[in-house]
Amino acid sequence: QVQLVESGGGLVQTGGSLRLSCAASGLTFSSYAMGWFRQAPGKEREFVAFLSRSGSNTYYADSVKGRFTISRDNAKSTVYLQMNSLKPEDTAVYYCAARESTSVLTSYSPSWPDYWGQGTQVTVSS
């Protein structure tokens, strides 16, 4: 049974930082490209960041470029999202997702993930 479990969300002030983690189990982690997505109240889910299986390719939404960094530790079957200089508009539930593919993701596609995590809340206060 495949599981993706996010952690690290919470309440932070504007300009602060958080690091989200997504621990995967039940799959061969190194065979999966990973992505982070988010959904704010009343809004559609959106793409945040992508990381290829090898870790050599990354893509970010324009809204987070230069502030967020996606990385992975294959030995721990974990993908991370380091979020710096947080803004109130970053408030959302953040989801990680996995796809067993070499294809690159640069925008939101609901059909891309093979698996979703359950999400973790990030709230940035002004």
User: What are the tens digits of pLDDT across the range 60-72?
Assistant: 999 999 999 999 9
pLDDT per residue over 82-109, tens digit each?
999 999 999 999 999 999 988 888 888 8
Q: What is the pLDDT of residues 46-59, one digit of tens each?
A: 999 999 999 999 99
The pLDDT of residue 108: 87
Q: Token digits for 96?
A: 């990680």
Kindly report the CA angle at 101 between 119 and 80, in degrees rounded to 5? 35
| More reliable by pLDDT, 103 or 114 | 114
In the prediction, which pLDDT does 122 show?
Answer: 98
Long-range (24+ apart) CB contacts under 8 A made by 51-55 are 51/79, 52/102, 52/104, 53/102
